Structure 1
Amino acid sequence: MSETETDNWPVRTGSGAPEPEALRDIMALVAAAFDTDGNPPLSEQTLVELASPAAEADALLTLLAYAPEEKSDPSTGQDLAGLAVVSPVGGSGVLEIVVHPNYRNQGVGTLLVDKLKANRGLAGIKAWSHGDHEAAADLAARYGYVAVRELWRMRLIRTHGSDQALPEAVLPPGVTLRTFIPGQDEHAWLAANAAAFAHHPEQGSMTLSDLQARMTERWFDPAGFFLATDAEGTILGFHWTKVHPETGHHPSLGEVYVVGVTPQAQGSGLGRTLSTAGIRYLQGRGLSAIMLYVDADNQAAVSLYRSLGFTRWDADVMYGPRPE
């Protein structure tokens, strides 16, 4: 489809959290894309902000592309063909685009980018491709974007005896392991998280409202949120695990959600110990597959997870403007 053939596809632009009806349509679009592709089409933080009426959502920019009546799906009534959302991560913003499987290869992605370019411009914006789809790479190249970051998804498949092959979770002297206590540990954990991820563009900027939003999710379970503390109770490291429920034809999946070690405890082997403790917990819940996200250029973390049996499964790619 040429660009002129999408002229009669209306695009609605908004800021902040969408209205309930629009949010319902967005979540249906996200679910359809996930079911088709096998990976989330939007980052978790973007989903949190879309669903949140909090002040942090005010900086969101959303563009919703609707199919004209003659193109809409009569079996489902689905007419939301695509979504572009710009979140304020990194100052200039990060773009994510989702196109409904029923409307792919019809120029919807190009339509959304062109509308965004006309609405606020593309200056400084970077863009995620979750799953590194070929169509996303082509779209990025069309606007002069190149890959600037690769986020691997690694996976551990449990086979007979694999849990016995994990190293023992031996804590450094004077360090104890306990689980997160809601209503008590929020601020101390946020401080430890900020210290552990001081140079990470997403994780290190987590706020109290971000944490509280995740604590209200159905998957949140403090029994899988491990804290390593010293004799004074200071948090030195943590392993927050997550269990993805079974959806459609995708089975339940464990996740090494986030492992962090504060600067004063780095080099002590605490990261390996925390990783092992969380993996054992997830396997103890009967999960045969565990996944995680890690930056491809984080050689120390990639080496650690490979030593624990993880292998590269898939990747998300961030695109940015081609350097002058």
Structure 2
Amino acid sequence: MPGPSNRTIRTFRAADAEPLATLLRNSLATGEQSGHTASDFESLIGAFPIVRHLLVAELDDAPVGIISPDHRLLLVHPDVRRRGIGRALVEAAEDEIASSPDGPVVLFPPHGSEGAIAFLEAIGYAYDHSFWRFGLDPELPSPLPELPDDLSVGHYTDTEILPYIDLINTSFRGHPTPLRVTREQIEHVHGKASFDPASIAILRNESGDLIGFCTTSIDRDATPPVGHINLVGVLNEHRGRGLGRWLLLWGIHRLQSQGIDQIELSVDAENENAVGLYRSVGFDPVEEWPQWIRVGACVLGPES
């Protein structure tokens, strides 16, 4: 879609990778991306070709802006701001996402950024809900109980990639903040040299069906290294047995066995069941990420 001064909003191209990476890193270095981390941005940079709904603003044949709804991120080069590029990116992303199950567009204004708040208000966005970063109290004991006799736990194998994807997507269907992963995304993450299949626990019933999972990771570039409980999910028909709690505790034990003392996870503040579970094992909120959406849109699904 052309615009003033040969402005175009388009999908990502391989040639965009270097200039967009520079834009992201410079923005982080100047301090205008408070709430995002170098690890966040490097993860996005490494995944550019497979990020869903990633759009680029091009001005006079050069990429000058980016929007990634999956990352709640909008960024325009400081030299070309206040020229309608941010608004055009948001509107294009809304059009792009409208026919998918991934909407609506949600954006996170960096902490303390009055300019970002003013921009969002000007384009018709408003605060909707918050995500929290929770940290685990390392002094609290977290014993791992025995699993019920009719269940077993194992690790991920590539032969189960399709059932694994279905397990994730089905577990989060109807969730307060629905999640959908693709084979391309899973293969990208599992293709990294740092990936360890043992970082994933999968629960199976007596028939061998996958019924629950927990994924963990470690950011060893942080000082000290930080362990993350990335996802915990249980199929709806197997809930109410304490399996989510068991998987959460498994994740904590897994990370602690790797020498990690600082363990974190993120959760939607309105997901009362998850918040209660996390607090019950010693997690407490340490950072809030406000989420903004267009006035009249709805992001939260039904409680499950």
CA contact (8 A) 1:151 1:317 kept: yes
Corresponding residue for residue 106 of structure 2: 127
Equivalent positions of 1:62-141 (< 5 A) are 62-63=56-57, 83-87=65-69, 96-98=73-75, 103=78, 108=81, 111-116=84-89, 120=92, 126-129=105-108, 131-135=110-114, 136-141=116-121
Structure 1 residue runs of 5 or longer lacking an equivalent are 1-7, 67-78
Could you tell me how far apart the structure 2 residues matched to 1:286 and 1:227 are?
22
The alignment's C-alpha RMSD in Å is: 3.5
Partner of 1:75: none
Whether the 8 Å contact between 1:97 and 1:109 is mirrored in structure 2 is no
The code of the aligned residue for 1:83 comes to G
SS of the equivalent of 2:159 reads coil
- State the partner residue of 1:263: 236
Deviation at 1:179, TM superposition (A): 1.1
Q: Is the 8 A contact 1:84 1:112 kept in 2?
A: no
Query: 2:239 and 2:193 mapped to 1: Cα distance?
Result: 32
Q: In structure 2, what is the Cα distance between the partners aligned to 1:60 and 1:233?
A: 37
The equivalent residue for 1:76 is none
Separation in 2, partners of 1:275, 1:50: 30
Q: From the superposition, tell whether residues 12 and 154 of structure 1 become closer, same or farther in structure 2 (CA, over 3 Å).
A: farther
Q: How does 1:300-319 map to 2 (within 5 A)?
A: 300-319=273-292
CA distance in 1, matches of 2:67, 2:194: 24
CA distance in 2 between partners of 1:225 and 1:11 (Å): 47
- Give CA-to-partner distance per residue, 1:231-254, whole Å, 9 cap, x none: 11111110010112315xx54211
Change (3 A) 1:12 1:110: closer
Aligned residue in 1 for 2:206: 231
Q: CA deviation at 1:281?
A: 0.9
Find the residue that maps to 1:184 and give its secondary structure: helix
Paired residue total: 281
The question of 1:26 aligning with 2:20 is answered yes
In structure 2, do the counterparts of structure 1 residues 43 and 272 end up closer, same or farther at CA, with 3 Å as the change threshold? farther
Q: How far apart are 1:95 and its partner, in Å?
A: 6.2
Give how far 1:264 is off: 1.7
Q: Secondary structure at the match of 2:179?
A: helix
Structure 1 residue 312 displacement after superposition: 0.9
Residue by residue over 1:15-35, the C-alpha shift from the partner in whole angstroms, topping out at 9 and shown as x without a partner, is 333333x21222233334455
Q: What's 1:16 paired with? A: 11
Counterpart in the other structure of 1:187: 162
Q: Label 1:192 to 1:321 Cα distance change in 2 as closer, same or farther (>3 A).
A: same
Instruction: Say which SS state the counterpart of residue 85 (structure 2) adopts.
Output: helix
Cα distance change on mapping 1:311 and 1:99 into 2, 3 Å = farther
Worse-matched range after superposition: 287-296 or 10-19:
10-19
User: Alignment partner of 1:195: what SS?
Assistant: helix
In 1, are the aligned partners of 2:55 and 2:89 still within 8 Å (CA)? no
Counterpart code for 2:120 = A
Q: CA deviation at 1:51?
A: 2.8
Q: Percent identity?
A: 22
Residue number in structure 1 paired with 2:36: 39
Distance of 1:153 and 1:65 partners within structure 2: 36
Cα deviation, residue 128, structure 1: 1.3
Which piece of structure 1 moves more, 309-318 or 219-228? 309-318
Task: Name the residue aligned to 2:294.
Answer: 321
Q: Distance in 1 between the 2:155 and 2:198 partners?
A: 6
User: Match of 1:39, as an amino acid?
Assistant: H
Q: How far did 1:150 drift? A: 1.6
Which of 168, 174, 186 is the aligned partner of 2:144? 168
Deviations 1:141-181 (CA, angstroms, capped at 9, x unpaired): 2222111232211112534xx3xx11323312311111111
Residue-by-residue CA offset, 1:28-79 (whole Å, 9 max, x unaligned): 3333445543524868996576233xxx75x53212579xxxxxxxxxxxx9
User: Partner residue of 2:55?
Assistant: 61
CA drift at 1:184: 1.5
Cα offset for 1:86? 4.9
**Which of 174, 189, 213 is residue 188 of structure 2 equivalent to?**
213
Deviation at 1:194, TM superposition (A): 1.8
1:240 & 1:232 partners in 2: Cα distance?
22
Cα distance in 2 for partners of 1:157, 1:84 equals 37
Structure 2 residue 49 is matched with structure 1 residue 51: yes
Correspondences of 1:143-162 after superposition (within 5 Å):
143-159=123-139, 162=140
- Report the equivalent of 2:153: 177
3-state SS in 1 of match to 2:108: strand
Equivalent residue for 2:301? none
Mapped to 2, the partners of 1:128 and 1:150 lie a distance apart of: 11
